[in-house]
Amino acid sequence: MKRWRVYALLLGLSGTAFLIGCKPAAVGVSGMAGLSCANCHSGNPSSPYALAFLQNEAAYQQSGHYNGTRALNPAPANSYFFKGSHALSNSQIGGGICNKCHTDQGFVTAIASGGNFYAVGAIAVTSALPPGCFTCHNPHVTGNFTPRIVSPVTLLSGGTYNFGLGNLCANCHQARATAVLTLVGTPKSGSGPHHGVQSDFLLGENNWVMPAQSYAGTSPHAMATADSCVSCHKYDPYPRSSTSDLQLGGHGFYLTGVGGGPLAPPVGGSSAKKDVVALCTSCHTSASTTFEGIHPTVPDWAGINGGAPADPLVEIRALRDKLVIYFINTAPKPMSKVATSPWDGSLPVWPTSAIEWTRDFVAGASVTLSLVQAQSYWNLQLYLEDRSKGIHNPVFAAQILYDAIVNLNTNAGAGIVIGATRPS
């Protein structure tokens, strides 16, 4: 019996040696010449390739792509927690049309088809896997870690997203519906844009268009950066360093660390706030040390500052809140305030930053809206589902929220007070 164990051990070692020595044909191009499997897969941090692999994997495990939606718990101190997502739910992955973004196999299959990503129908997947390293990268074929695809993306809404490495992201990060086709008759509130509409938002389209009005169009955050999404969301001031905040940039993709955020002081020693401001001021030459103040002041769009100019991000959030309060309080009430929220449901006295961390509202049960309500609700949801608080495309954000309010005032008698100047 012992002899068989020795033979088994020797066979195992010989197999390991074979794997370590293997060199797939593609490995040896694009700067990977002479590498073996072990260079990346040994787990040995003394190898720069293995170290990069380990650190990128660690950062990815702090990302929303891996953990699902991240939310802020304002008490007792600002801290984040993960709420999970369809991508990690066994009841959701393997769900046909959802497979394109919520499974590894579905995404790889969908992008290989070319054309309009969302025009690809349901994809059957066996033993579905959530997104991982090889969902976006294909090093065993390409010999490098460039994205699987960087060709222009045709969005479901008809626009073309073509901004460098960020093109890969645009395949999934677009609305699953269009305003033109949805806003007919009496739509359901749940038929609005899906949870990742960033491509639509950066292009400044797929909003409800108010008659006789024009919109800002494509954001400078897409046009003036080399690789749009990637240029900012992979920003890491401590690349491959032991001091790196794994929840800031890199393969975590966040621009706020676990202990701080753009509008609140860092907690627990996190330097994320100043790091992200440093990223922003690398293009925005303002000497401001906060997000608020990077841009010049704008007219009082929301009517919150006595008509005096105010910071655009503060104005945008005030426009958002006026719409949220309307939809929380006005039948059929498609939104509701989370029961545990410390927010009392009233409009705060602006400008203030504390309210940003305590505001807590959700889309309620799907209900039938009037067409006027649905038009304005679509614009609000497009803003909320972008999740950048307007930063991705500030003027577009202000315009669609402002027009949503004007629409409710004019056609539904809402009586919401706003400024006299439309954002431009």
Helices (H) and strands (E) in the chain, counts: 18, 6
Kind and range of the H or E run holding 394: helix 394-412
Structure pTM? Answer: 0.87
Residue 93 is predicted with a pLDDT of: 64
Q: Which residue do the tokens 């919401």 mark?
A: 416
Closest among 88, 114, 113 to 103, alpha carbons compared: 88
**129 DSSP β-pair partners:** none
Name the nearest CA neighbour of 325 among 341, 346, 303: 346
Predicted confidence at residue 23, as pLDDT, reads 37
Burial of 399 (0-12, 13-18, 19+ CB in 10 A): buried
Q: For residue 283, how far is the Cα from the chain centroid? A: 21
Torsion sign (Cα): 11, 17, 21, 22: positive
Report the distance separating Cα 15 and Cα 65, nearest Å: 34
Which residue type, as a one-letter code, is found at position 156? L
Predicted local distance difference test score (pLDDT) of residue 14: 35
Q: How far is CA 81 from the centre of its chain?
A: 16
Q: Which two tokens stand for residue 172?
A: 């999934």
Euclidean distance between CA atoms 111 and 116, whole angstroms? 9
Question: Cβ(336)–Cβ(366) under 8 Å?
Answer: no
Q: 40 to each of 43, 239, 251, how far by Cα in Å?
A: 7, 18, 17
Question: Which phi and psi angles does 405 have, rounded to 5°?
Answer: -70, -45
Per-residue pLDDT of the chain (424 residues; tens, 9 = 90+): 444 443 333 334 333 333 333 334 444 444 565 667 777 777 676 777 777 788 888 888 878 888 777 766 655 555 666 666 545 555 556 667 788 888 888 899 988 876 677 778 788 888 888 888 899 998 888 878 889 989 999 999 999 999 999 999 999 999 989 999 999 999 999 999 988 899 999 999 999 999 999 999 999 999 999 999 999 999 877 665 555 556 678 888 887 654 444 333 333 334 556 677 778 888 888 767 677 778 889 999 999 989 999 989 889 999 999 999 999 999 999 999 888 777 888 887 666 655 565 677 888 889 999 999 999 999 999 999 999 989 999 999 999 999 999 999 999 999 999 999 999 9
Report domain extents, the chain: 178-222+296-412
